[in-house]
Structure 1
Amino acid sequence: MEKLMQLKNPEYVRKFQGMCGVLIKQNNNCGSSTKNTRYGHRHEESRRKRNRNCPYQNENNSGKTDVGTNECNGDSFGDDADDGHSSTKNDNSPVAYEIKYKLPYYLAQIGAFLGDEIFYFVFYSYLAWNLDMVVARHTAMVWSVVMYLGQRTKDYLQWPRPPAPPVIHLEACHLHESSMPSTHAMAGTAMPIVLAVTISSRYECSYLLVGSVAVLWCALVCLSRLYLGVHTILDVLCGFISSIVICAVMIPCLPNLDYYQQHHAFAPLVILIAGISLCTICYPTTEKHGAKAKAVEIVSVTTGICVGLWINYQLGFVTEPHEPMPYQITAPTLKWTALTLCRFVCGSAVLGVGYILVKTLSVRFFSMYFGLDKVDERHPSVRMAHKFVTYFVIGFMTTCGAPMFVFKALGIERISAFYECY
C-alpha cells in the first residue's frame, strides 16, 4: 500500500511533463518575454478558448496575463472557489513554462476533449440519431454509472489536485473539483470498452480494428490528464481500474436492463425514483464548487433517456428488429451524409431551444417554490432542482422528442431507428 501511495507524488507528473516537452522556464516570472517560447502563442490561445467558459475563473486576473505562465493565465482561482480541496491556491508561485514539442500538446488537447461535456453531447446525439440507438444507450448507461460514482467519490475523498509547482497546470476549468479518481480516465476507459463490445456483437467488423481504436482512445484520455498536470498517476490508475471493474459487472447485464426499461409497466416510476434518490438522499453534499452539479446532470440526462425509450416502445414507435444480427456495415452515400447533417443540425437546434426554455422556466419556478425573494439560479436548492429538470428534458428529447416527432415531421427520420429495440 505504501508503494501504491507513492504514485500520488506530483514529482512523477512533473517528470512525465518534462519527458513530453513541457518545461519550466528558469529565472522567469509572469512578465517574461514570449520570444523564447516555441508554440507559446498558439498554445495559449488554444488554452484560453478551452477555459473561457469556465465559471470558476478569477475575473480579477483578466487582462493581466502573459504567454507561458500557468497562474497568470487564469489557472488560479478566487477565494470563493477555494473550498479546501483544490490544489491551486492563491499563494502558489507563478510557473513560467514553454511547450517544446507540438504533437504531444495537441494529442493531450484531443484526449481532454474526449472527456468534456461538448464531446458527450455531440457523440451521443449523433450516435443515437444517425447510427445506432442501441449502441448509444448501452454506452450511456455505463457512462452514467461510471461518472456518477467517480463524481461521488471525489466529493467523499476530497483529495487535492497535484500542486503547482512542481507540476504545471495546463488546464484550469476542472481544478475546482477534487482529484481522486480521474473521471476523465474513468469515462475514457468505460466508453471505448462498451462501444467495442456492443459494436462487435451487433455488426460484422474487425475485432482487431475495434480493439485498437478502444485502446488508443483510452490511452489518449488517460495520458492527457498527466500531461496537463491535473491528476496524479494514482488518480488515473484508480479511475482506469474502477472502470474496468464496472464494465465487467454491467456489460453482461445491459440486454436485460435494456429490456426492462422498455417493457415493464412501472419502469419510468422506478427510474425517476432512482434518479431523484441518487441526486438527493445518496448525495447530500452542499459544497458550492463540489462535483455534485455534474453528477446531477449525468443522472438526470440518463433518466430522461430511459423514460424516452419506454415511451417509444409503449406508444409503438419502435419494435423488435426483423433481421438477425450481426448486421453488415455499408459505405456511406452522399444522401446518407446529407441526412445525417440535417438530423444533427435540426436536433441540436431543438435541444438548444428546449434547454434555454426549460432552464428559464424551471429557475423561476424553483425560486418561487423555495420561497426566495428574487430569482436566484445560484441558490444550492434551486441550482440542483433546475439542473435535474433541464437535463431530464434534454435526455428525453434526445431519444424521443427529436427522433420520433421532429425528424418524422420533417421527413428526415432514420428508418432503422424504429427497429432498434430489445
Structure 2
Amino acid sequence: MYIGQVAKDILKWPRPSSPPVVKLEKRVIAEYGMPSTHAMASTAIAFTLLISTMDRYQYPFVLGLVMAVVFSTLVCLSRLYTGMHTVLDVLGGVLITALLIALTYPAWTLIDCLDSASPLFPVCVIVVPFFLCYNYPVSDYYSPTRADTTTIMAAGAGVTIGCWINHFFHLVSKPAESLPVIQNIPPLTTDLLVLVLTKFAVGIVLILLVRQLVQNLSLQVLYSWFKVVTRNKEARRRLEIEVPYKFVTYTSVGICATTFVPMLHRFLGLP
C-alpha cells in the first residue's frame, strides 16, 4: 500500500475528469489516480490468502482461484463504477501487486521466522514504517493520502507486533504433533455461526474502545507538546501531529486485535 500511495504522489496522474465521469465519492477526490490502491489491496488480499492456504487447508484450488479472481475483479470494477479510476489505473494497481507478490514470495518463510524469533523484530517493525510515513512525499496541497498511508502502515505494524508477542511470550498454543498437514475446513453450523458472531462482537467493542482511548490520549499529548489549541481540527493535518497520532492509534489497534482480543476471548471462555 505504501508503494501504491507514494506512486500516486510521484506520478501525479489525475483522476478521471468530471464531466463526463460522475464521481460518487468525495472524500478521496483530492488524491491522484495512478495506481488504484483499492485494486492493489484487493488483489494482494485475495491472492496472498489463496497462496498461503492452498497447502494448509483442503479445498478445491480452482474454487479458491475463482473466488480470488471474483473478489479482486468486483473491487476493481467498483472503482470504475464510482468514477474514481480509469481502466489503466486499475490495471496498473493489479500488475504492481502481482509483481510484488512474485518478488516477495520467496522471503515469506524467512519473514515469518523473524517475526516469531528475533527480539529486535518489533523495533524494526515500528521504526521503519514510522520513518517512511513521516518522510512521505510532500504534496502540492493537502490530501488524505498521507493519513491513509499512515493508518494502513500502523495497523500492519500493530498486527505484526501482536503476532510477535503471541509467539515470543508463548501466548498461543502450538498445534499438536498429530495435527494433519492439510486440514479440512469445518462445516458452518448454527453453533459455530453464533460463536463466530459473539467473538466478532466482543472483539469489535474492545478494538473501538482502545482506538478511541489511544487516539484521544495521543492527541492530547501532541497538542500539549506543540502548544496547539485542542479544538483546532486543522492542527490534525500538521505532519508532526497527524503521523504520530495515527501511527500510535492504529498500531495499538493492530496489537489489540491480535493479542488482547484473543486473550479476552479465552478469559470469557470463548474457544
Describe the SS at the equivalent of 2:130.
helix
The residue identity in structure 1 corresponding to 2:148 is: K
Q: How many residues align?
A: 265
Correspondence 1:384 to 2:243: yes
Aligned mates of 1:150, 1:385 — CA distance in 2: 21
Aligned mates of 1:374, 1:348 — CA distance in 2: 28
Residue identity over aligned pairs, in percent, reads 33
Write out aligned runs for 1:5-404 (5 A).
147-281=1-135, 283-285=136-138, 287-322=141-176, 323-374=179-230, 376-379=232-235, 380=238, 381-403=240-262
Correspondence 1:406 to 2:264: yes
The residue identity in structure 2 corresponding to 1:285 is: V
Does the CA-based 8 Å contact 2:2-2:149 persist in structure 1? Answer: yes
Alpha carbons of 1:377 and 1:393: their partners in 2 closer, same or farther (altered >3 Å)? farther
Alpha carbons of 1:202 and 1:378: their partners in 2 closer, same or farther (altered >3 Å)? farther
Structure whose residues are more often helix by fraction: 2
Alpha carbons of 1:399 and 1:338: their partners in 2 closer, same or farther (altered >3 Å)? same
Give the C-alpha shift of residue 172 in structure 1.
2.7
Does the CA-based 8 Å contact 2:28-2:143 persist in structure 1? Answer: no
Describe the SS at the equivalent of 2:55.
helix
Describe the SS at the equivalent of 1:378.
helix
Q: Find the counterpart in structure 2 of residue 94 from structure 1.
A: none
Q: Which runs of 5+ in 2 are unaligned?
A: none
The residue identity in structure 2 corresponding to 1:358 is: V
Describe the SS at the equivalent of 2:138.
coil
Does the CA-based 8 Å contact 2:25-2:84 persist in structure 1? Answer: yes
TM-score normalized with structure 2 length: 0.92
Give the C-alpha shift of residue 309 in structure 1.
1.1
Alpha carbons of 1:266 and 1:377: their partners in 2 closer, same or farther (altered >3 Å)? farther
Alpha carbons of 1:208 and 1:369: their partners in 2 closer, same or farther (altered >3 Å)? same
The residue identity in structure 2 corresponding to 1:339 is: L
Does the CA-based 8 Å contact 1:155-1:290 persist in structure 2? Answer: no
The residue identity in structure 2 corresponding to 1:268 is: P
The residue identity in structure 2 corresponding to 1:361 is: L
Aligned mates of 1:292, 1:361 — CA distance in 2: 21
Describe the SS at the equivalent of 1:169.
coil
Aligned mates of 1:248, 1:319 — CA distance in 2: 32
Give the C-alpha shift of residue 333 in structure 1.
2.6
Give the C-alpha shift of residue 312 in structure 1.
0.9
Give the C-alpha shift of residue 375 in structure 1.
5.0
Does the CA-based 8 Å contact 1:158-1:178 persist in structure 2? Answer: yes
Give the C-alpha shift of residue 181 in structure 1.
0.6
Alpha carbons of 1:346 and 1:157: their partners in 2 closer, same or farther (altered >3 Å)? same
The residue identity in structure 2 corresponding to 1:303 is: A
Does the CA-based 8 Å contact 1:363-1:376 persist in structure 2? Answer: no
Q: Which runs of 5+ in 1 are unaligned?
A: 1-146, 414-422
Aligned mates of 1:357, 1:325 — CA distance in 2: 41
Alpha carbons of 1:407 and 1:378: their partners in 2 closer, same or farther (altered >3 Å)? farther
Q: Deviations over 1:343-390 (max 9, x none)?
A: 100100001111111111111101112232445453212122111111
Higher Rg of the two aligned structures: 1
Aligned mates of 1:375, 1:272 — CA distance in 2: 29
Q: Deviations over 1:148-178 (max 9, x none)?
A: 1111111222221111112222333321211
Q: Deviations over 1:75-95 (max 9, x none)?
A: xxxxxxxxxxxxxxxxxxxxx
The residue identity in structure 1 corresponding to 2:49 is: L
Give the C-alpha shift of residue 250 in structure 1.
2.1
Q: Which has the higher contact order (CA 8 A, sep 6+)?
A: 2
Alpha carbons of 1:373 and 1:334: their partners in 2 closer, same or farther (altered >3 Å)? closer
TM-score normalized with structure 1 length: 0.60
Aligned mates of 1:153, 1:320 — CA distance in 2: 41
Q: Which ranges of 4 or more aligned residues in structure 1 deviate by more than 6 Å? A: none
Q: Find the counterpart in structure 2 of residue 27 from structure 1.
A: none
